[in-house]
């Protein structure tokens, strides 16, 4: 994949350890998130994904466990063809305001394969399965 730095001071997201699943995304702006509110935060980068892959924006567990900060739409979906700036929607679940500062690692981005199956539309019955319509606790708790 390619990562495009949109501004002279954009910071490249990196894997903290080479075997990590996600690369840490960096805030490209200062944003104060009041208690209970959410904000859209720019990362200063855009990406070019390989065919049949997507990027998922996931929370960092440290921010969640220490500050009650998470990704509101987790996992955020970055579509293969999206060329705009990657932005992160953070929500502050704590009772204190949270200061996002430029350069802070605010979320992580995981690249994952996706499937776009051919779709067949029909009106008959689905092939029978053992689960059938059972769900929402049908197997007990």
Question: Is position 50 an interface residue for ligand DUT (rule: CB under 6 A)?
Answer: no
Buried b or exposed e, range 42-68, using 16+ CB within 10 angstroms:
bbbbbbebeeeebbbbbbbeebeeebb
Query: Any binding-site annotation on 130?
Result: no
Contact window for ligand DUT (CB under 6 A) among 11-19, 20-28, 58-66, 84-92 = 84-92
Task: Answer for the pair 100, 38: CB distance below 8 angstroms, yes or no.
Answer: no
Please answer whether residues 76 and 131 qualify as being in contact, where contact means their C-beta atoms are separated by less than 8 angstroms. no
Is residue 79 exposed (0-12), middle (13-18) or buried (19+ Cβ within 10 Å)? exposed
If the CB atoms of residues 77 and 101 are measured against ligand DUT, the closer one turns out to be: 77
Q: Which is nearer to ligand DUT, 71 or 98 (CB)?
A: 71
With CB atoms as reference, the residue minimizing the distance to ligand DUT is 76
What's the angle, vertex CA 103, arms to CA 99 and CA 106, rounded to 5?
60
> Which of 73, 101, 114, 134 lies at the binding interface for ligand DUT (CB under 6 A)?
73
Binding of ligand DUT at residue 53 (CB under 6 A)?
Answer: no
Q: Does 23 bind ligand DUT (CB under 6 A)?
A: no
Among 25, 86, 90, 109, binds ligand DUT (CB under 6 A): 86
For residue 87, state whether it binds ligand DUT (rule: CB under 6 A): yes
d(CA 49, CA 3): 9
Chain positions contacting ligand DUT, by CB under 6 A: 57, 73, 76-79, 82, 86-89
């Amino acid at each position: 994949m390619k990562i495009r730095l949109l501004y002279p001071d954009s910071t490249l997201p990196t894997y903290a350890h080479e075997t990590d699943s996600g690369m840490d995304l960096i805030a490209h702006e200062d944003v104060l998130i009041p208690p209970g509110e959410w904000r859209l935060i720019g990362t200063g980068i855009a990406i070019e994904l390989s065919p049949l892959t997507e990027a998922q924006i996931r929370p960092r567990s440290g921010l969640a466990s220490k500050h009650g900060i998470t990704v509101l739409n987790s996992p955020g979906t970055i579509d293969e063809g999206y060329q705009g700036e990657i932005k992160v929607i953070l929500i502050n679940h704590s009772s204190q305001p949270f200061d996002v500062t430029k350069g802070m690692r605010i979320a992580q981005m995981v690249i994952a394969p996706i499937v776009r199956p051919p779709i067949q539309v029909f009106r008959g019955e689905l092939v029978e399965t053992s689960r059938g319509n059972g769900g929402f606790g049908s197997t007990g708790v």
